Structure 1
Amino acid sequence: MSATQTTHSVAVQILPLAKDLDENKVTPGVLGFLVFAAIGVAVWFLLKSMTKHMKRVDFEEQPKDQPTPPQQPKPTT
């Protein structure tokens, strides 16, 4: 079987399926994929940046069993 015959037989099988598609139906297509991919890449960069910034945070939590000393109000003049 040559390549032309194979292509023709595949086209004959697929074309009736294409007639079933609604011509008024809107699909996302390539533009929708590109926008979705761009959003995914942006989220990846944001998460990478957030991780870098969170590693820089130096936070020491006070133990819960020790009460914090009450703070004295500052005198007003």
Structure 2
Amino acid sequence: MGGVTQTHALHQLVPLAAELDDNKVTPGLLGFVIFAVMAVGLYMLMKNMGKQMKKIDFEEQKAPQAAAPREPSDAKPPQA
């Protein structure tokens, strides 16, 4: 069934190919090569950034804890 769908798709594209203007500027091979080089460079940068982030030894500083809460001093000390 895949062959039928591919043939049908190509049949619809044939008239579009005939309408292409040879004078139009297209990116061509140079555009593809530049895009591919940028994609590979971005991939390498992302891998390197992942390595650098793993090297970071970050310990979160905790807020200083307040002194232990005291019991209210409502109670009177025992009298002697």
Structure 2 CA distance for partners of 1:65 and 1:17, relative to 1, 3 Å: same
Aligned residues: 54
Q: Does 1:48 align with 2:57?
A: no
1:31 maps to 30
The 4+ residue runs of structure 1 with deviation greater than 6 A are: none
Give the counterpart letter for 2:59 in structure 1. Answer: E
Alignment RMSD (CA, Å) = 2.6
Separation in 2 of the partners of 1:66 and 1:39? Answer: 50
Separation in 2 of the partners of 1:17 and 1:23? Answer: 13
* CA shift for structure 1 position 24: 2.3
* CA shift for structure 1 position 19: 4.3
After TM superposition, the score normalised by the length of structure 2 is 0.53
Which structure has the larger Rg over C-alpha atoms? 2
Separation in 1 of the partners of 2:65 and 2:33? Answer: 54
Query: How many percent identity over aligned positions?
Result: 54
Separation in 2 of the partners of 1:65 and 1:34? Answer: 56
